A and B are shown apart, each in its own frame.
Chain A
Amino acid sequence: MKYKRDPKLIREVLGKKVQFILGDMACVYGGILAGCSFFGGYPITPASEVAEGMARRLPRVKGTYIQMEDEIGSIAAVIGASWGGAKSMTATSGPGFSLMMENYGFAVMTETPCVIVNIQRTGPSTGQPTLGAQGDMMQAKWGTHGDFEAIALAPSTVQECMDFTIEAFNLAEKYRNPVCVMADGEIGHLRERVVIPDEKDLKLVDRVLATIDKEKYIPFTNSQTRKSKVPDFPTFGTGYHTYVTGLTHNEKGFPATDKQPDHEKLVKRITSKITDDLDELTNVEKLYLEDAETVFVTYGASARPAESAMEMARSKGKKVGMLRLKIVWPFPFKEIQKIAKKVNKIIVPEMNLGQIVHSVREYVDGQCKIVSAPKIGGEMHLPMELYKYLEEE
């Protein structure tokens, strides 16, 4: 059966409009609302609930669910399903994310849209399976070999888990790139109130399928029907006879492994299609930045204690603001440069030993002081601990 998105059936299966659910389940709801019709997963704490939720609900909306034999098989099936015409996603955690890296690179090279939900946990290796961390942020950008651009989002609340999953599908279909939703074990296993959006409030972006004449169609070049570096998508079964390969290929898709200009042209196109659109891909939340002298730059779960610390400081008269990154990669360096000119100090609280702080340092370029506030071990920062960073000069 070929999948057709039925809004009435989806709302019937998801239930009431206002619910009290886990963060993992919110990712499931987001996926089903966006029209996901294939889920290939493997159980891993703390992301097993995503697979379990999909196993219950996806057959009822007539999608396909398969529990694959390992994470490598999961991401492979997800990419294959995307070429077969379905919107597909998978969910995993740290160890599984490391296993998926080779095929993640394959998805980037062949320009396949897919969504990977990574409920991060402490690492390296098996670590603390039931506690959360933010230790994979750099891996989302530099994990696989070679030069590539990544898109990654970081939700801070359970409602954002759902909204960002829908947004991830939209970005993946628009740019034909894999997109990671970097939640963490704290938000994944947290229960909060969510509001399921009505059909008229949902904005969905679908892939642009190839429709032009088969003789004239060139699969791997700038789009031939609109002004974009993203080519139209020739899914299997529509008669275009595309040859898709992970080797360096020329515009027709044939391997060209001994030609330098072909490789340069290909890799520059697939990276610049994202870096050119940096303004559209900037999504940040600004709190009290107009008169701030110290700013918290944060993302994901560590934004919650940072906001409390900021409120405490404001009530005592200190001028503190916060910049919360919603889309972490591609890095919104223009926002960072804007605040670096005005403030004296930037504090970066993270649940790792300091990963995004390096990118902040790169773009601030010495204009103000940067302090990293790391905390590892599975516990979130306490607002008092972050308040202490504000007191020391």
Chain B
Amino acid sequence: MPEIRTADKLNKKYLREGMWPTIFCNGCGHGVVLDYTFWALEELGWDMDKVAFASGIGCSSRLPGYINADGLHTTHGRAIAFATGIKAANPDLHVVVFTGDGDCSGIGGNHFIHAARRNIDITVIMINNFIYGMTGGQLAPTAPLGSIATTAPYGNIEHPFDICELAKALGANYVARWTVTHPYQPMKSVKEAMQKKGFSLIEFLAPCPTAYGRRNKLGDIKKHWKWYDDNTILIEEYEKIMKFGSEDEKEKIRNKMQIGVFQDIQKPGFFEQYEKLVDRLQEKRYIGGKK
């Protein structure tokens, strides 16, 4: 009979001593993502000595500091490039990257594109709260049209960035987007993403009541969390209604954000191909081929 895993036992195994309570505001979605990661790690049963975390700058990038494993807290936007290096030096490590919406799609967009294109064997967990939270509430590339931020006081006139579409187009092995408010599907998804070989991306839509919710008049913490339930829809339901639904049903769901697993394919990863290349060169050497 396996041991029942409860939150306090998880705390003792995975949290770094002396670092809690967290710096996050009350009602923030980041702590919940940490929660889901712990449950996924527990299910997978990985040895915590062989897991490395990397992160950039921002609220989401403080997460590796709370986990009792090797962590690398790097400069703004470059976490994915650092993670490529860690994986290249020691391919036995499992590398997980925590990054934010500005960190990944703003300054770090180039590194994200090329890591996805090369299919590097890392898992990227991008926590999207539509704003730059840690520095006070500036505009982020993923902010919806018309939202208010300190550097867009009259409303945002730019179109938002859909990073899951980009990852799909680049051929990443696993692409999914979930909200933080319902626990079971994200936990299973995080576990699948970590197990999968090749580049996996999970985008979490997390609430930020202090910076985003307050400026955009989304109400207090409970109403803000409800806003996520009302404005998102599962991809299967969306497709079903678009195919078979009536006109006003289609109208109602047209502007909702889609969540779910968008892509789940299996392509060979970069380091697998590189090992095959090295083996091929070693064979040539023994057959007596010219150097």
Whether the complex brings A and B within 8 Å at their CB atoms is answered yes
- Contact mask for chain A residues 1-22; partner B; CB cutoff 8 A; 1 contact, 0 none: 1110000000011010000000
Whether A245 sits at the interface, judged by CB under 8 Å, is yes
Tally chain A residues at the interface, Cβ within 8 Å.
48
Q: Do residues B73 and A37 form an inter-chain contact, with CB atoms below 8 A?
A: no
Q: Do residues B65 and A243 form an inter-chain contact, with CB atoms below 8 A?
A: yes
Known contacts A59-B278, A77-B84, A255-B65; A83 and B72 CB within 8 A of each other = yes
Q: Do residues A68 and B71 form an inter-chain contact, with CB atoms below 8 A?
A: no
Q: Do residues B281 and A240 form an inter-chain contact, with CB atoms below 8 A?
A: no
Q: Do residues B111 and A37 form an inter-chain contact, with CB atoms below 8 A?
A: no
Question: Across the two chains, which residue of chain B brings its CB closest to A77?
Answer: B85
How big is chain B's contact interface, by range?
35 or more
Question: Across the two chains, which residue of chain B brings its CB closest to A69?
Answer: B114
Task: State which of B75-83, B188-196, B210-218, B240-248 sits at the interface with chain A.
Answer: B75-83
Q: Which of B52, B85, B93 has the most CB of A within 10 A?
A: B85
Question: Across the two chains, which residue of chain B brings its CB closest to A78?
Answer: B85
Distance, CA A148 to CA B52, complexed state (A)? 28
Whether A79 sits at the interface, judged by CB under 8 Å, is yes
Q: Do residues B82 and A79 form an inter-chain contact, with CB atoms below 8 A?
A: yes
Find residues 176-217 in chain B having any chain A CB closer than 8 Å to their own CB.
none
Whether A387 sits at the interface, judged by CB under 8 Å, is no
Whether B277 sits at the interface, judged by CB under 8 Å, is yes
Which of A3, A88, A245, A246 is in CB contact (< 8 Å) with B85?
A: A88
Which of A66, A236, A247 is in CB contact (< 8 Å) with B88?
A: A66
Q: Do residues B81 and A38 form an inter-chain contact, with CB atoms below 8 A?
A: no
Q: Do residues A64 and B274 form an inter-chain contact, with CB atoms below 8 A?
A: yes
Query: Contacts of B89 on A, CB cut-off 8 Å?
Result: 3, 37-38, 64, 80-86, 88
Q: Do residues A237 and B93 form an inter-chain contact, with CB atoms below 8 A?
A: yes
Q: Do residues B65 and A254 form an inter-chain contact, with CB atoms below 8 A?
A: yes
Which of A37, A72, A243 is in CB contact (< 8 Å) with B78?
A: A72
Query: Contacts of B85 on A, CB cut-off 8 Å?
Result: 38, 40, 76-84, 88
- Contact mask for chain B residues 106-123; partner A; CB cutoff 8 A; 1 contact, 0 none: 000011011000000000
A199 to chain B, nearest CB (A): 19
Whether B96 sits at the interface, judged by CB under 8 Å, is no
Q: Do residues B54 and A80 form an inter-chain contact, with CB atoms below 8 A?
A: yes
Q: Do residues B278 and A76 form an inter-chain contact, with CB atoms below 8 A?
A: no
Whether B50 sits at the interface, judged by CB under 8 Å, is yes
Known contacts A59-B281, A68-B114, A237-B93; A243 and B88 CB within 8 A of each other = no
Q: Do residues B92 and A243 form an inter-chain contact, with CB atoms below 8 A?
A: no
A55 to chain B, nearest CB (A): 11
B121 to chain A, nearest CB (A): 13
Q: Which of A82, A84, A86, A245 has the most CB of B within 10 A?
A: A84
7 closest pairs, A vs B, by CB? Answer: A80-B85, A84-B89, A77-B85, A76-B81, A86-B89, A245-B73, A80-B82
6 A-B contact pairs sorted by A residue (CB < 8 Å): A59-B277, A64-B89, A80-B89, A81-B85, A83-B86, A245-B65
Q: Supply 9 further A-B pairs (C-beta < 8 A) apart from A106-B75, A237-B93.
A: A1-B278, A2-B90, A12-B285, A13-B291, A69-B114, A76-B74, A77-B84, A103-B75, A243-B16
